[in-house]
Structure 1
């Protein structure tokens, strides 16, 4: 049965209802899915900003300062900090809320740490649903801070409207950390801790790499900032707003969201199919026997795939 009270409280911007629903989402509770189905029409209003980059880049401190500046404008902020998962409790291991402790008492800011729970790509499995909850809750901006594990940090581009790539000088081979797929996803590049030696060189190297990239009307700006010194924060906010304005004006905002929705639906279908296959496997020995047949070369993997699909159809 749908919890109408929880749904109504969320629509009214109740923080506790928001926290409760995100917890239900993380636990893949059917009640949470039913509420999201009912309230989905209230999503799509928040500007979703991905904060990504290598570990030690100061992503949490930067997110904290960006949120505080937007709060001065009267904006309601949601923050999802995706952390590595504890192998013992299954909870998030770093707890980025510690770095944003003074924001937790702000009634206009909601912060949630989410463990990856083995999910690759830099995000948690429940991130998409948590974003919807915060959107319905009434957040104007939703920051999604990825776990920070290097070149696998590409899922954020399938979720965010604007991706901020955070780099710092002094991490060794700087450009190696942002090459290939990760380099492609940044809409804005921030060289954080720019008071350190090598900041100019890091910014120049990023600019040089951007020279080789094709730009669809938007060349990602490279901003030197220092979250701890509170410098460059206003410039980052300005560029975030400029990026959204550019995307809306050129029609790319709608296209990006359409692509993200398409990918989300396909992922949901894939997850459902995997659940159905796992159930079939538990209910009968048919799938287990297929594995053995492939191992002993009595069957090939492609035929086994077709047989599993036929089983799911039954």
Structure 2
């Protein structure tokens, strides 16, 4: 499934996937989620390196590996990630690999049948029967997990869970507010519930999304189209504000709401992705006076080798409702329609299955 130009409908076409070179692996794709980031690529919101091979929330089986690959072998069931850490940059050397500055991707390009190089979404390109990645992008998980569910850990759901667990450090007894209840926001809600947060407040303007949020563990909901978000969160937290407030939208208005809806020593986590032109204006005295922490969460500050197998196991145990994120399973030619459903807020995740 290829995006050939800004705003053009995506197309199913034939591509060439080369044999894996040193450090690379070819993965037989079994499922790939339709993420909003794929739509950003189609619309030119990330770069203009068309044509793009879309898709990145992948679960599949390793088909072939190149020279020097030892972490996976043919037949392994894997979830792909777009943050394959290098292990040697200044972040990795300081014990902070989740901030790696030199992550790996495959060296060889996949191409159209005429030889035109493809730009794979987030270095993966999962809307294809096979894709070529760096072996470090492959994380082995329990092969009993359903591919359509496990693959969602590859991006949005992991970003949300990690925003609550890894970045926000939500814990037992905490109050957590999540602004924006799409896939990432509901991931944050599920993550907060998993940690034992006492009060989990979901904020959105869509009644259906607020209903979904309750399924993932929200104890309270706020319809931001009918009430002031900051006042509502404060009222639900004894007038203090929440211990952790997660902005899963990523626009100046929701970030400002998150800032003022937290407790004085609370934490704000930005996991929604802003557009490049957006600017934020906050009184510096308010930033100084409120203490606490203002954090950004990129990919949920995850370490795939640590987090993917653990979360898959929790899902298998029935302690993490990942299956509730899958609204529908579709064929490859249903991606364009899935984008429209995403626009209308009708789905959490459409998942392409092969």
TM-score between the two structures when normalised by the length of structure 1: 0.31
Bigger strand share? 2
Bigger helix share? 1
